[in-house]
């Protein structure tokens, strides 16, 4: 099992030129979840988002359109504990599910539509920006019909978010493996547990973030994306992990969307504890363990390929390790912070359930294996999504 804190080499000083501001208040967490809308009878995606959002208009600040009219998004209020976050997620999902059913649809907490989208792509009403995005990036815009979960940890100023980003990024592959839930895409098994992670990384502004030597380096990297044409604006900084462009938070964008709420909460618990651990290490002047970007890139691919059931790569050494061991190593690393917040028991129990029962990708493949019918996969996802 990996022990990153015991690495015998380091990148130098504890903050490597990036400076964090000491926190005076507990870390908060907020979550954005993206959902697909499918016909309740055929389970094919339908461009019903404007209708569903109008029906759910009683929550205007928490329910939003997404990149296409096949999708809707929820944003939880800021929470200071996992139980509060869970209650908010359940309430918002319940509201959206009722609105979807009112229009003959069901809500799907799925990273991909599983089967191919029929007909032309229905984008949102932000037409000038959408037209320019489609003109510049062509078929890459087909991947907009995919759903992730974005976890915001705050309150962090940009200097602190950049410093913490460097220390969280080695664990992005493990977070991808834990959330892997997109084995099917376009009507076939992709051979990957998280094809969304692979497809989304095709965008030139997506994938692993750089290791930043300073906040100025972070800002230059963003400006390079804009100046090169890789991004239309800062909203298109699609890195797996980034200081938010709109909120005083660090935003983790790597995980697939998953229907199980307890898995969603586990991801939020682990990410908040990772940020807390990074802040503690910075405060105690602990150097960052040495990390090779080429190894981390391969670890990301292996996590997307194998998910939780196969193998991953130790991000520090490149050695092949069971993905379950990497997940348990992450839990061990952040256990002190989870215990301090009262979340260790839930995190350990939920992770144990995932390791016992299988990831979302494993459960999708099991649903398909019974009759070799992708509609069974879609029905399984819809039923899990509505299990509040």
Answer yes or no: is pLDDT of 10 > 50: no
Tokens linked to 356:
């016992």
pLDDT band at residue 274, thresholds of 50, 70 and 90?
very high
- 59-65 long-range contacts (CB < 8 A, ≥24 apart) are 59/92, 59/95, 62/92, 63/92, 63/95, 63/96, 65/124, 65/125
238 to each of 4, 203, 230, 231, 245, how far by Cα in Å?
Answer: 27, 8, 10, 9, 11
Q: Are 337 and 273 in contact (CB under 8 A)?
A: yes
pLDDT tens, position by position, 150-163: 999 999 999 999 99
Q: Phi and psi (nearest 5°) for 45?
A: -65, 145
| CA–CA dist 285, 288 (Å, integer) | 9
Model pLDDT for residues 364-386, shown as the tens digit of each residue: 999 999 999 999 999 999 999 99
Q: Is the peptide bond before 155 cis (omega within 30 degrees of 0)?
A: yes
pLDDT for 21 beyond 60: yes
Closest CA to 171 of 263, 68, 291, 81: 291
Q: What would the two tokens of residue 241 be?
A: 């992990």
d(CA 35, CA 115): 15
Q: What integer pLDDT is reported at residue 7 of this predicted model?
A: 37
Percent of the chain with pLDDT over 90: 83
Cα 134 to Cα 2: distance, rounded to the nearest angstrom: 43
pLDDT band at 18 (very low <50, low <70, confident <90, very high): low
Q: Could you read off the pLDDT of 327-377 as tens digits, one per residue?
A: 999 999 999 999 999 999 999 999 999 999 999 999 999 999 999 999 999
Residues 13-49, buried b or exposed e (16+ Cβ, 10 A)? ebbbebebeebeeebbbbbbbbbbbbeeeebbbbbbb
Model confidence pLDDT, tens digit, residues 286-310? 999 899 999 999 999 999 999 999 9
CB atoms within 10 A of CB 213: 15
Give me the count of residues in the chain.
388
Domains of the chain with CATH codes: 16-385 (3.30.590.20)
Predicted local confidence at residue 250, as pLDDT: 98
pLDDT digits (tens, 9 = 90+) for 84-102: 999 999 999 999 999 999 9
- Whether 246 shows a pLDDT value over 60: the answer reads yes
Q: State the pLDDT at residue 67.
A: 85
Task: Please state, as a whole number, how many other Cβ atoms lie within 10 Å of the Cβ of residue 306.
Answer: 22
Mind listing the pLDDT tens digit for each residue in 51-73? 999 999 776 669 988 889 999 99
Largest Cα span, the chain: 59
Lowest mean pLDDT among 13-17, 44-48, 86-90: 13-17
| DSSP assignment of 37-102 | EEETTT--B---HHHHHHHTTT-TTTEEE-SBTTEEEEEPPPBSSHHHHHHHHHHHHHHHHHHHHT
Token code pair at residue 240: 């797996």
Instruction: With a cut of 70, say whether residue 2 has pLDDT above it.
Output: no
Give the model's pLDDT for residue 121. 76
C-alpha torsion sign, points 260, 276, 63, 49: negative
pTM score, whole prediction: 0.93
Question: Residue 5 pLDDT more than 80?
Answer: no
Residue 300 burial (C-beta neighbours within 10 Å; 0-12, 13-18, 19+): buried
Dist CA 23 CA 16 (whole Å): 19
Place of tokens 């939020």: 268
**Is the per-residue pLDDT at 259 higher than 80?**
yes
């Amino acid at each position: 099992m990996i022990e990153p804190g015991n690495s015998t080499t380091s990148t130098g000083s504890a903050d490597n030129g990036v400076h964090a501001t000491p926190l005076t208040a507990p870390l908060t967490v907020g979550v954005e979840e993206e959902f697909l809308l499918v016909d309740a009878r055929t389970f094919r995606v339908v461009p019903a988002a404007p209708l569903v959002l109008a029906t759910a208009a009683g929550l205007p600040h928490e329910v939003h359109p997404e990149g296409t009219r096949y999708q809707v998004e929820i944003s939880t209020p800021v929470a200071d504990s996992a139980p509060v976050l869970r209650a908010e997620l359940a309430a918002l999902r319940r509201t959206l599910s009722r609105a979807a059913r009112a229009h003959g649809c069901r809500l799907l907490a799925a990273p991909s539509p599983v089967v191919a989208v029929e007909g032309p792509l229905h984008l949102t009403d932000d037409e000038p920006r959408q037209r320019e995005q489609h003109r510049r990036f062509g078929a890459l815009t087909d991947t907009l019909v995919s759903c992730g979960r974005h976890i915001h940890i705050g309150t962090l100023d940009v200097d602190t978010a950049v410093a913490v980003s460097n220390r969280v990024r080695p664990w992005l592959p493990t977070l991808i493996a834990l959330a892997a839930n997109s084995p099917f895409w376009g009507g076939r098994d992709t051979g990957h547990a998280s094809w969304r992670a692979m497809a989304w990384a095709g965008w030139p502004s997506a994938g692993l973030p750089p290791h930043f030597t300073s906040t100025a380096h972070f800002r230059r990297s963003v400006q390079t994306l804009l100046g090169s044409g890789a991004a239309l604006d800062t909203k298109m900084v699609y890195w797996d992990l980034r200081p938010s462009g709109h909120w005083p938070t660090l935003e983790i964008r790597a995980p697939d969307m998953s229907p199980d709420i307890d898995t969603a909460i586990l991801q939020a618990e682990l990410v908040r504890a990772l940020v807390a651990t990074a802040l503690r290490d910075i405060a105690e002047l602990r150097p960052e363990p040495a990390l090779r970007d080429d190894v981390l890139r391969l670890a990301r691919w292996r996590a997307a390929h194998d998910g939780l059931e196969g193998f991953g790569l130790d991000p520090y050494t490149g050695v092949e390790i069971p993905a379950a061991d990497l997940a348990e190593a992450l839990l061990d690393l952040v256990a002190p912070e989870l215990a301090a917040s009262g979340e260790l028991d839930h995190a350990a129990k939920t992770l144990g359930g995932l390791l016992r029962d299988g990831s979302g990708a494993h459960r999708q493949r099991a649903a398909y294996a019974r009759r070799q019918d992708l509609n069974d996969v879609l029905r399984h996802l819809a039923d899990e999504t509505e299990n509040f």
